[in-house]
Structure 1
Amino acid sequence: MNFTSLNAVKNHLFIANAAVVLFLTHQIGNAQKKENPNELKSKIATSGNNSEKARLLLNLSSYYLNKPGEFKTDLENAQTVNAEAKLLCERLAYKAGKGKAILLDAQIFREKGDTSNALQKTKEAVDYSKKHNLIELQAESYAELSMYDASLEQKAKYKETAILLFKKTGAQEKQAENLKGLGELYSINENPNKAEPLLKESLALYKSIKYQKLQGVYNLLSEVNTQKGNYPESLKYALLAEKTAIAVNDNSLQLSSIYNHVGLVYYYLRQNNDAEEYWYKALEIAKYHKDTEYVRTIGENLCSLLIRQKKENEALKLIKEMQLHFPTSNMERLMKENYLLFNIYRILKNNSTATIYYKKLADYYGENADRNGNSIAILRSFASYHYQIKKFDDFYRTIKRLDTLAAGAGNNLIRSESYLIWFKADSSRGNYIEAIKHYQLYKSLSDSVFKGEKSKQISSLQIEFESEKKDKNIDLLQQKAKLQEIKIHNNTIVRYLFIIIVVILSALVLLLYNRFRLKKKTNEQLEIKRQKIAEQNELNKKMLLEKEWLLKEIHHRVKNNLQIVISLLNTQSAYLDNEDALMAIQNSKHRMHAMSLIHQKLYQSDNLANIDMSWYIYELIGNMRECFSTEEKINFVLETEKVYLDVAQAVPLGLIINEAISNAIKYAFPADRKGAVKIVLKNIGYNNYELLIMDNGIGLPSDFDEIERDSLGMNLMMGLTDQIDGIFEMKSDNGLKLKITFTRNTEFEASNENDAII
């Protein structure tokens, strides 16, 4: 019952391939003062009716109020004792005691859930403390005021007033406690940049007074760094919180919150096993304390982990178990449950059910998630939903707002995953320029999140923490070993001698008995295996020959079919007078011939997987020279290495060369102008290759706009370059120069260079 501060833990949950965020609210109690109730009662019984007795009664009431657990009898005892203390203070005109009793009334009402009376009593305590100039009571009353419903600005104002008053009285511990509370308040409202300096100031103040129980501050510092996407720093503080809690023997619900947050950081770092381990430890503590909100919070985290592992049905089962065994009427908690169900059904492609939960969430949070906090979480989920049901106007509105909020929080992980789905949306709508831009942003940000120095920091933190735990375990084991060593020493020799004799005798008997049987059985098994291997080898040889024949036949058929299509196009062109149509047919014939050459080479070669591109380019250019009759006008220069590519790369590369050469023949040398076209295919390091197609023609027109390149040939070359994961570059340089850089799929040593001039 000592939960007098509210700590909202922001959990960014990533489910399957979609980014989903959920915010879970926890209550964490203040540190319980070590008061002995029996001693207090004894002192009260022997005290006269004076201010000392009043002080003892107030301490006893405070003990019952802050006693661990949620028991009605404790609150009733707190109220009864406080009423007695209040009456005594009034008779004695003990102003400080009466003010404290008024504030205790407020806190008791709040713990009972009667916020109306609690707020009234708190305001009464503020007025009383001001009237009688009780500065410390005034500070405590303002701190209590910040616990009730009000705007963020108003709550922060109450906290700041309390901090200034505690500073004035020199109450450093309470000043640090309220700095922590103010930082927590900003953290709850997704403002980590304001929260972090306040929490660090609180930490420094606590350390200056040698305060030991720093786990709560460390836990909040971990939380704000999680909000900022600074996971190495978040992990550092989370592990410090765990280490400190263990050192001070904290087994309260705060330890459950700490374990929950350590698991959460590991969850973001994609270390699912570590996240699962910590969440189960947190759940065990929550169940021990019988705290429904904590159990549901951690259960929902485990549910999100199941969703990430593509175990949506198990996640649904877990939610139903929580509904049955840990029911709640808290609206925020119910909305978190709706949020999980929304994302589960969305991932299961059950859009009709997902839409039901979407409407509930939109009604509660708003379509732009600008009410009740949780903006980043809701927006990420809404963006994935709009993309899935192809409502792109809603998607772009949502994703732009999400990016702005994530950028403000400095969370590159959220931004990178947002850019990935943005890229997919652009691609599905054919907006390839924007798609490329967003994909590059995704790669840039995602690479910065976990690589380099951050990964080293994370590994270092984990190693340091695990080493400390292992050292403690070793010390404990050594102590236990010393205690047991004397007890087992006398029995060890006799036991081992008996075991050795039994083992030797048993081994001799078994060895003699099994030797013959083992040898016979082994020979039989070897003969059976030899026969099976021989049969399998014959079968494999036969299947290999059949597959090679079948593959050659397929390539042959494909080549013949492409030739038939070329013939049909020739026939069709005889009946056309339209120049554009004839040109389109001619271009199609060249493209089909470029593909046909691939399959012709494959069925004629012993290598059915790869094609020699130097031969292929030579044949392709020869065919184009014949088709366009360029012998007198254009000189072709080939500088190609023996590069072996598979069909998946050879076909796109052949089509790119076909398009580039066709364009050069048609447009680079107008009228009777003569010139040269140079084709270079070379290795530029490891498995990276470069294709250059250059001419000394007229180059690009002066008004050519690269962004608006919308011709079929140009789009085809760019699209084919993307297909082989290459980089397409084009510029005018004493003519037109195309450069395509790509990486070969298979591992083969490059052959010697082969230069030829046609």
Structure 2
Amino acid sequence: MLQSDITRQQADQLLDIIRQKGTDTTHIHALLTLAEFNIFKNGKLKTDLDSAKLFIDQAKAMNSKIKSVTAYGYTALVESYLARESKHDDIAKVLNDKAIQILNDAKNYNHLGQAYYQRATYYNPFDDSGSSKVIELYEKGIAAYKQINNVERQGYGYKRLGEYSNTVQGTIDNLEKSLALYKSIHYSAVQEVYDLMAVAYMYDLNIQKALPYALLALKVAEQQKDTTMELCAINNHIGLLYGKKKDHKNAVIYFTQALKTAEYYKDVNTIYFLAFNIINSDIALNSPLPAKKLLDRILKKFPITNDNIDLSRLATSSFVKIYTSLNDVKTGKTYTELLQQIDETNNASLNNAKLINDYTIVSKFYLMAKSYQLAAAYLKKCEALVNKSGTTYDRSSLIALKFRLDTAQGNYKSAVLHLLKYNITQDSIFNETKAIEFQKQQVQYETEKKDQQIKILEQKGLLQQSKLQHANLIQAVTFGGVLVMLVVSALIFGYINKNGQQTRSSHTKMNCFSNYLLVRNGCLKKCITA
């Protein structure tokens, strides 16, 4: 929902206007602006909404005498704000549409642009049916503000278009327009624009470009003394980016800063997701005890309600990961069985991605607990889902776990086969990465062909990155090949020599392979959450 930019000082000035005698559009506008101020006030109370209704009623009474068409339109718009804030969305939509029609006829482009922006917030921008409508309404709002050369509100519109664009390049283009407009009027509170650019590049797997924008967003937020949930989002995104760089120590620092903001605003869902990000980073740092301490504190301070299945599931799975890392079979088993129960009870409402994640966590626990039969059973369930809708990264993780299970049980022939399959998935991941890079080059060619020098420099950068990735892959595959030869040699040697000492030696080599694969696989499966 849109927020009012009216300050307390401006509100006091408006109060001075309405205290003066008179019945004109100036008084009506002051009354409606004061109503808007009370509706969007931070930490508002019911009395604030009552005050807003009183101001609206006074404005309507005045306008019944002078019958200003613009005032009718602005009144309908502010009434829609109040209806929505009072949880009457259906009425709010009708009033918003009424405002658009009246303001369009009256050619009042200032309030018309605001009405279009507000109407866009009723649609889900990430839904196929709502996305196009959101884009259309923001574009209409921008067009309205262009009529009166309101640069700041145009900048806001392009910022929202950037946020909701369905392509990375579309996002970047709109955000650059927003930034240029803001800079042209020396508007400095552009932290959200920089943050959105960081997120766009993060989704585009371009961490080298994403991180500087995220850090710039934080710098601007601090300069603006921004303590809102926008600051929380910025710190979270920086944490995610450091996590992708495998710098989990710095990731924890920024996640923790984000958590402080979320706790201040008592945003429970955000609090838990940030806690989970910190827990995952702590486990990556082999520090499960701080992770446990954090989760215990959050659960005590912000208890999860029985109907919140997602948070219950994620909290339980976090405990399983913590006790797996602690090698605590007894306590871990309790949470593992609870996670299994949650998944079975809510199987119909959980998507495959969530179930794949949970089955992987359960399998790792049973491997740690040496309950190989149960580990095999959950890997089988996981495999069925991965074959249906899993990603290449899911497949890679699954094969690595199967390798661990094989080596733990002494099934070395099967382990070698899984090692070979694992290398094949790495080839697939490399090819997917190359395909993404090729698409980036195509976009760059189309959008930057007017600036040949910049295009050449960027192509050189992409070529160097491609060569580096290729060199790393050759090194990894070569090392994997040497390992396969060692395994095969160990198998042949074990077959010829039957004594116990040689068998133990072969088993030790296979465990080394297991650790190697785990380290590599742990660096692969990283998405937008830590």
Amino acid at match of 1:357: I
Match of 2:383 among 377, 390, 395: 395
> 2: distance between equivalents of 1:385 and 1:98?
59
> 2: distance between equivalents of 1:341 and 1:153?
38
Match of 1:434 among 414, 418, 421: 421
Whether the aligned pair in 2 keeps the contact of 1:296 and 1:322 (CA below 8 Å) is yes
For residue 326 of structure 1, report the CA deviation from its aligned partner: 3.3
Superposition pairs of residues 203-602 of structure 1, within 5 angstroms: 203-292=179-268, 294-309=270-285, 315=291, 318-319=294-295, 321-326=297-302, 335-345=310-320, 348=324, 350=333, 351-359=336-344, 362-367=347-352, 378=354, 381=357, 384=360, 389-392=377-380, 394-395=382-383, 397-398=385-386, 401-403=389-391, 417-418=393-394, 420-424=396-400, 427=403, 430-431=417-418, 433-440=420-427, 592=496
> 1: distance between equivalents of 2:341 and 2:194?
40
1:157 aligns with 2:145: no
> 1: distance between equivalents of 2:320 and 2:44?
36
Match of 1:75 among 33, 45, 49: 49
> 1: distance between equivalents of 2:85 and 2:303?
20
Q: Deviations over 1:541-590 (max 9, x none)?
A: xxxxxxxxxxxxxxxxxxxxxxxxxxxxxxxxxxxxxxxxxxxxxxx999
The verdict on how the C-alpha distance between 1:306 and 1:590 changes in structure 2, with shifts beyond 3 A counting, is closer
> 1: distance between equivalents of 2:290 and 2:109?
55
1:171 aligns with 2:150: yes
> 1: distance between equivalents of 2:493 and 2:135?
74
Match of 2:162 among 183, 191, 206: 183
Superposed CA RMSD: 4.3
TM-score between both structures, scaled by the size of structure 2 = 0.66
Q: Which has the higher contact order (CA 8 A, sep 6+)?
A: 1
The verdict on how the C-alpha distance between 1:392 and 1:163 changes in structure 2, with shifts beyond 3 A counting, is farther
Whether the aligned pair in 1 keeps the contact of 2:248 and 2:284 (CA below 8 Å) is no
Percent identical across equivalent pairs?
20
Match of 1:679 in 2: none
For residue 241 of structure 1, report the CA deviation from its aligned partner: 0.7
Match of 1:66 in 2: 40
For residue 242 of structure 1, report the CA deviation from its aligned partner: 0.9
Whether the aligned pair in 1 keeps the contact of 2:172 and 2:200 (CA below 8 Å) is yes
Match of 1:201 in 2: 177
Whether the aligned pair in 2 keeps the contact of 1:226 and 1:234 (CA below 8 Å) is yes
Q: Which has the higher Rg, Structure 1 or Structure 2?
A: 1
For residue 312 of structure 1, report the CA deviation from its aligned partner: 5.4
Match of 2:64 among 59, 80, 90: 90
**Structure holding more strand per residue:** 1
For residue 426 of structure 1, report the CA deviation from its aligned partner: 6.4
Whether the aligned pair in 2 keeps the contact of 1:32 and 1:67 (CA below 8 Å) is no
Amino acid at match of 1:177: Y
Amino acid at match of 1:276: V
Match of 1:52 among 18, 26, 34: 26
TM-score between both structures, scaled by the size of structure 1 = 0.48
Q: Which moved more, 1:267-276 or 1:337-346?
A: 337-346
For residue 161 of structure 1, report the CA deviation from its aligned partner: 3.1
Match of 2:97 in 1: 123
Whether the aligned pair in 1 keeps the contact of 2:343 and 2:350 (CA below 8 Å) is no
SS in structure 2 at match of 1:36: helix
Q: Deviations over 1:635-669 (max 9, x none)?
A: xxxxxxxxxxxx969x99xxxxxxxxxxxxxxxxx
The verdict on how the C-alpha distance between 1:95 and 1:277 changes in structure 2, with shifts beyond 3 A counting, is same
Match of 1:493 in 2: none
Superposition pairs of residues 710-725 of structure 1, within 5 angstroms: none
Q: Deviations over 1:319-348 (max 9, x none)?
A: 4544443357797x7524523423543674
1:106 aligns with 2:80: yes
Whether the aligned pair in 2 keeps the contact of 1:64 and 1:77 (CA below 8 Å) is yes
Whether the aligned pair in 2 keeps the contact of 1:328 and 1:334 (CA below 8 Å) is no
Amino acid at match of 2:22: G
1:141 aligns with 2:115: yes
Amino acid at match of 1:352: E
Whether the aligned pair in 1 keeps the contact of 2:158 and 2:174 (CA below 8 Å) is yes
> 2: distance between equivalents of 1:299 and 1:157?
37
Whether the aligned pair in 2 keeps the contact of 1:420 and 1:439 (CA below 8 Å) is yes
Whether the aligned pair in 2 keeps the contact of 1:346 and 1:385 (CA below 8 Å) is yes
> 2: distance between equivalents of 1:330 and 1:239?
38
> 2: distance between equivalents of 1:337 and 1:186?
32
Match of 1:461 in 2: none
> 2: distance between equivalents of 1:234 and 1:82?
45
Amino acid at match of 2:211: L
For residue 217 of structure 1, report the CA deviation from its aligned partner: 0.9
For residue 292 of structure 1, report the CA deviation from its aligned partner: 4.4
Whether the aligned pair in 1 keeps the contact of 2:229 and 2:261 (CA below 8 Å) is yes
> 2: distance between equivalents of 1:280 and 1:399?
37
> 1: distance between equivalents of 2:68 and 2:276?
50
For residue 51 of structure 1, report the CA deviation from its aligned partner: 0.9
Whether the aligned pair in 2 keeps the contact of 1:64 and 1:74 (CA below 8 Å) is yes
Whether the aligned pair in 1 keeps the contact of 2:201 and 2:209 (CA below 8 Å) is yes
For residue 157 of structure 1, report the CA deviation from its aligned partner: 3.2
For residue 354 of structure 1, report the CA deviation from its aligned partner: 2.0
Amino acid at match of 2:136: K
Q: Deviations over 1:693-730 (max 9, x none)?
A: xxxxxxxxxxxxxxxxxxxxxxxxxx9xx99x9xxxxx
Q: Deviations over 1:290-335 (max 9, x none)?
A: 554554453443344344445557646644544443357797x752
Superposition pairs of residues 615-626 of structure 1, within 5 angstroms: none
> 2: distance between equivalents of 1:210 and 1:103?
29
Whether the aligned pair in 1 keeps the contact of 2:356 and 2:382 (CA below 8 Å) is no
The verdict on how the C-alpha distance between 1:590 and 1:50 changes in structure 2, with shifts beyond 3 A counting, is closer
> 2: distance between equivalents of 1:226 and 1:40?
44
The verdict on how the C-alpha distance between 1:426 and 1:301 changes in structure 2, with shifts beyond 3 A counting, is closer
For residue 238 of structure 1, report the CA deviation from its aligned partner: 0.9
Whether the aligned pair in 2 keeps the contact of 1:419 and 1:439 (CA below 8 Å) is no
> 1: distance between equivalents of 2:384 and 2:76?
54
The verdict on how the C-alpha distance between 1:257 and 1:54 changes in structure 2, with shifts beyond 3 A counting, is same
The verdict on how the C-alpha distance between 1:140 and 1:318 changes in structure 2, with shifts beyond 3 A counting, is same
Amino acid at match of 1:395: E
The verdict on how the C-alpha distance between 1:156 and 1:66 changes in structure 2, with shifts beyond 3 A counting, is same
Q: Deviations over 1:470-523 (max 9, x none)?
A: xxxxxxxxxxxxxxxxxxxxxxxxxxxxxxxxxxxxxxxxxxxxxxxxxxxxxx
Whether the aligned pair in 1 keeps the contact of 2:117 and 2:138 (CA below 8 Å) is yes
Whether the aligned pair in 2 keeps the contact of 1:183 and 1:198 (CA below 8 Å) is yes
Whether the aligned pair in 2 keeps the contact of 1:176 and 1:202 (CA below 8 Å) is yes
Amino acid at match of 2:39: L
> 2: distance between equivalents of 1:204 and 1:590?
69
Aligned residues between the structures: 422
Match of 2:15 in 1: 41
